[in-house]
A and B are shown apart, each in its own frame.
Chain A
Amino acid sequence: MNDRHDERASCPRCGAPLAEGGVLSGLCPACLLRQGVGDPAPFLHDAARPSGAEVELSAIQRDFPQFEILELVGRGGMGLVYKARQPRLDRTVALKILAPEVMSQPAFAERFLREARALARLNHPNVVAVHDFGEVNGRYFLVMEYVEGAHLRQLIELGRLRAADALRLVPEICAGLQYAHEQGIVHRDIKPENILVDANGRPKIADFGLVKVLGQDEDDWRLTRASQVMGTPQYMAPEQMHRPRDVDHRADIYSLGVVLYEMLTAELPVGRFALPSERARVDARLDDVVLKAMQREPAQRYQAASEMSTSVEDIAKNPRHNRERNVARDVVWPKGKRLNFLNKDKLDGIYELRGIIGVENEELVAEYRSQLLGIARSSKVETLRLPLKDLAVVSFKRGFLSCEIRITLRSLAHVEGFPSGPKGCLRFLFAKADAAEAERLARHLSLSLES
């Protein structure tokens, strides 16, 4: 071990040993950290000095005496966002300080004032309000409504959205868009992160037109794309990439189509994507809404957000409960597809259950062998068949070690030969590598509960 250590290369800059293996291989960890967060010298040698965050906070507080700056709640390429209180008006606001680098763009100040003024005129329940804007000591800022809640991305990732939620939220989002479009303002960056849902479940569109304030739409599309949150060009209408100067309100409609697809399926429509009703158990008429919004040619999309809203509202008002849906259901969990599971008890060793699980003819089917006390391996393959209608609750948990589908049955009967959990409860454990498939199965099972 010592020999290995002695041979280690050291950093030509600071002399610390270079890391070996993994992504850090050949790099100097100390230098990396220094590069990433600045030179530590000031605070290493002067512990009494306030830290960077404190300096920042107190400087902001000095520049904005009319606010009580509560905390830094966001830090991104566009700048910093503080949660602040305005005591005189007794309201909480989000104070957005634009990053210095955005100001270096040509004619920034002029454009900022022109665009921000237009944004501040927007007044709609589904649009995050801009209360004020300006410049103090070289800092450009926006004072915005503070929304307590979550954004759509979080809701999608938590699996909290159902088709019914999408049907309710989209018309409201459309209302906000329609309103802004009527004022001649295009958002240009509609994506789940920019749609906040407040505590009352009301969607509010954030950062309207900020892309334009920052002048990014006038650059070539690579620049525009790069300055957005990474990995989101999928939300951009084709013309935003290829003809940024021709962009109009219909680009937002395209983006909302992508967002709707994601709300319904928790996936992005990439390449030759499957229709929503093929991916999830949703009304097939929503396929048409998504496809129309996402037409390549702006002229073939909905021409106004209000039109899209009407389509969605019609579907919400006339729900279809028919057998069509079962088609979609089968697609969610392909016929004949099986997944391996491996159940162990908490004490690890009293029993072990190893088998495959799938869905056949409206039944959950598991074939397994059990092994007790680590010795007596039963050679008999048991089969468990549970009609889907007997399932009451299905939950899915993703753990560090494995993941788990937990099923509560409608009756509290103990399932013969399947020693797993309390009465009326079944657990199936899956390897971490199968987590995505297991989750899909759980989703499929829980969808079958709704009917």
Chain B
Amino acid sequence: MADPTSKGPASAGPQLARDFATTRWSLVQRAGQEDDDDARQAALSELCQAYWYPVYAFARRQGSARVEAEDGVQAFFAELLEGDLLARADADRGRFRAYLLTCFRHFLANGRAREEAWKRGGGRRHVSIDAARAEGRWVAEPVDATDPEREFTRAWGHAVLEGALETLRAEYEAGGKGDVFAALLPTLGGQQESPGYRELAERIGATEGAVKVAALRLRRRFGELLRRRVAQTLVDPSELEDELRGLFEALS
């Protein structure tokens, strides 16, 4: 067992200002220069990869059948990444979350043309959304949230949390402390039968104080990653708290 008292890995350390000034979403929006095109495309891909599920959830909540939603979402992202949608829809370019939903609504509203693309999307099997897993998740979602937009935001919140947790786990594992992460994870999320600190301490042979400190570090780092992840979908850093509040409301 790694020493749980050693500092949580990866306080972000001396990060360069630019790291934060150039969020993924602001990179996407800095359109134009040919030179930046690759970086822009990569940033957009990365964002889409992280947030395709909310779109799928939205489509399903709207009443699309499973296959239809799957194909439609694939066609939508294909078109989004081709760049046409990005050029056309500047309705709300403030946040990636709002933008994605607006785009998807346009996409759905564009009637017959969309229908064609929708059908064609059926052939695009190489889209890397994991449809079977998506459906598995969909069925597992609670059914009380009937509003598609609310469903979208809720799924978005989950995607943010998942992303931050995955990064956190990877960091701990890279630092040889995967076991610390696994032991402390229950303290983060109100898991059932989450063991108390004392019990945890006994189990891993450390003092209770040491476990508390390690848990605090885990939490702090998680918070940093969470904020950073949300910030990646924004352009204006002052919107961060507001965006977090929106996610809170959707999740609680």
A and B found bound together: yes
Given known A-B contacts A4-B140, A76-B224, A228-B13, A9 and B192 have beta carbons under 8 A apart: yes
The answer on a CB contact under 8 Å between B126 and A342 is: yes
Of A16, A73, A342, A398, the residue contacting B42 (CB under 8 A) is A398
The answer on a CB contact under 8 Å between A31 and B13 is: no
Taking CB atoms, residues of chain B closer than 8 Å to A349 are 120, 123
Q: Could you tell me the distance between the alpha carbons of A132 and B15 in the complex, rounded to whole angstroms?
A: 19
The answer on a CB contact under 8 Å between A5 and B142 is: yes
Is residue B237 contacting chain A, with contact meaning CB distance below 8 A? yes
Given known A-B contacts A21-B140, A36-B223, A71-B237, A399 and B45 have beta carbons under 8 A apart: yes
Of B120, B189, B194, B245, the residue contacting A40 (CB under 8 A) is B245
Binds B, one of A60-68, A77-85, A254-262, A383-391: A77-85
Taking CB atoms, residues of chain B closer than 8 Å to A223 are 6-7
Is residue B11 contacting chain A, with contact meaning CB distance below 8 A? yes
Binds B, one of A150-158, A287-295, A299-307, A328-336: A150-158
Q: Could you tell me the distance between the alpha carbons of A346 and B124 in the complex, rounded to whole angstroms?
A: 10
Of A35, A74, A94, A99, the residue contacting B19 (CB under 8 A) is A74
The answer on a CB contact under 8 Å between A397 and B38 is: yes
Closest chain-A Cβ to B81's Cβ sits at a distance in Å of: 5
The residue on B at minimum CB distance from A220 is B6
The answer on a CB contact under 8 Å between B190 and A14 is: yes
The answer on a CB contact under 8 Å between A81 and B17 is: yes
- Count CB-based A-B contacts (< 8 Å): 255
The answer on a CB contact under 8 Å between A11 and B190 is: yes
Taking CB atoms, residues of chain B closer than 8 Å to A43 are 241, 245
Taken residue by residue from 128 to 172, chain B's Cβ proximity to chain A (1 for < 8 Å, 0 otherwise) reads as: 100001001101101110000000000001100110111001010
Q: Could you tell me the distance between the alpha carbons of A11 and B190 in the complex, rounded to whole angstroms?
A: 6
The residue on B at minimum CB distance from A346 is B82
The answer on a CB contact under 8 Å between A151 and B223 is: no
Taking CB atoms, residues of chain B closer than 8 Å to A21 are 133, 136-137, 140
Taking CB atoms, residues of chain A closer than 8 Å to B42 are 398
The answer on a CB contact under 8 Å between B16 and A74 is: yes
Q: Could you tell me the distance between the alpha carbons of A91 and B68 in the complex, rounded to whole angstroms?
A: 57
Taking CB atoms, residues of chain B closer than 8 Å to A342 are 126
The answer on a CB contact under 8 Å between B252 and A30 is: yes
Taking CB atoms, residues of chain B closer than 8 Å to A13 are 190
Is residue A134 contacting chain B, with contact meaning CB distance below 8 A? no
Q: Could you tell me the distance between the alpha carbons of A272 and B92 in the complex, rounded to whole angstroms?
A: 51
Given known A-B contacts A35-B189, A398-B41, A400-B128, A76 and B13 have beta carbons under 8 A apart: yes
Q: Could you tell me the distance between the alpha carbons of A348 and B251 in the complex, rounded to whole angstroms?
A: 39
Q: Which positions 133-154 of chain A face chain B at CB distance < 8 Å? A: 146-147, 149-151, 154
Given known A-B contacts A23-B166, A206-B14, A230 and B251 have beta carbons under 8 A apart: no
Closest chain-A Cβ to B197's Cβ sits at a distance in Å of: 15
The answer on a CB contact under 8 Å between B77 and A400 is: yes
Closest chain-B Cβ to A425's Cβ sits at a distance in Å of: 16
Q: Which positions 8-51 of chain A face chain B at CB distance < 8 Å? A: 8-9, 11-14, 16-24, 26-38, 40, 43-44, 51
Interface size class of B (residues with CB under 8 A): 35 or more
The answer on a CB contact under 8 Å between B143 and A16 is: no
Is residue B48 contacting chain A, with contact meaning CB distance below 8 A? yes
Q: Which positions 318-372 of chain A face chain B at CB distance < 8 Å? A: 342, 344, 346-349
The answer on a CB contact under 8 Å between B9 and A44 is: no
Q: Could you tell me the distance between the alpha carbons of A99 and B17 in the complex, rounded to whole angstroms?
A: 16
The residue on A at minimum CB distance from B136 is A21
Is residue B113 contacting chain A, with contact meaning CB distance below 8 A? no
Closest chain-B Cβ to A194's Cβ sits at a distance in Å of: 6
Q: Could you tell me the distance between the alpha carbons of A229 and B247 in the complex, rounded to whole angstroms?
A: 28
The residue on B at minimum CB distance from A227 is B7
The answer on a CB contact under 8 Å between B143 and A78 is: no
Taken residue by residue from 385 to 412, chain A's Cβ proximity to chain B (1 for < 8 Å, 0 otherwise) reads as: 0000000000101111110000000000
The residue on B at minimum CB distance from A99 is B11
Closest chain-A Cβ to B44's Cβ sits at a distance in Å of: 8
The answer on a CB contact under 8 Å between B223 and A37 is: yes
Q: Could you tell me the distance between the alpha carbons of A437 and B194 in the complex, rounded to whole angstroms?
A: 43
Taking CB atoms, residues of chain B closer than 8 Å to A347 are 120
Given known A-B contacts A27-B189, A44-B245, A36 and B222 have beta carbons under 8 A apart: yes
The answer on a CB contact under 8 Å between A231 and B143 is: no
Q: Could you tell me the distance between the alpha carbons of A31 and B191 in the complex, rounded to whole angstroms?
A: 9
Is residue A193 contacting chain B, with contact meaning CB distance below 8 A? yes
Taking CB atoms, residues of chain A closer than 8 Å to B21 are 71, 73, 83
Is residue A2 contacting chain B, with contact meaning CB distance below 8 A? yes
The residue on B at minimum CB distance from A96 is B14
Of B13, B140, B144, the residue contacting A20 (CB under 8 A) is B140
Closest chain-A Cβ to B195's Cβ sits at a distance in Å of: 13
Closest chain-A Cβ to B159's Cβ sits at a distance in Å of: 10
Residue among A21, A26, A346, A400 having the largest count of chain B Cβ atoms under 10 Å: A400
The answer on a CB contact under 8 Å between A230 and B126 is: no
Taking CB atoms, residues of chain B closer than 8 Å to A346 are 82
The answer on a CB contact under 8 Å between A16 and B227 is: no
The answer on a CB contact under 8 Å between B12 and A53 is: no
Q: Which positions 166-187 of chain B face chain A at CB distance < 8 Å? A: 166, 169, 171, 174-175, 185
Given known A-B contacts A33-B248, A398-B45, A1 and B143 have beta carbons under 8 A apart: yes
Closest chain-B Cβ to A176's Cβ sits at a distance in Å of: 16
Of B16, B120, B139, B252, the residue contacting A1 (CB under 8 A) is B139
Taking CB atoms, residues of chain A closer than 8 Å to B19 are 74, 151, 154, 193
Residue among B171, B194, B228, B241 having the largest count of chain A Cβ atoms under 10 Å: B241
13 residue pairs A–B, Cβ–Cβ below 8 Å? A11-B190, A20-B137, A21-B140, A28-B190, A33-B247, A74-B20, A77-B224, A147-B17, A229-B15, A231-B174, A347-B120, A349-B120, A397-B41
17 more A-B residue pairs beyond the given contacts A18-B192, A344-B123, with a C-beta to C-beta distance below 8 A: A11-B190, A14-B252, A27-B189, A36-B161, A36-B164, A51-B241, A72-B237, A76-B12, A76-B224, A83-B17, A147-B17, A158-B38, A223-B6, A225-B175, A342-B126, A349-B123, A401-B77
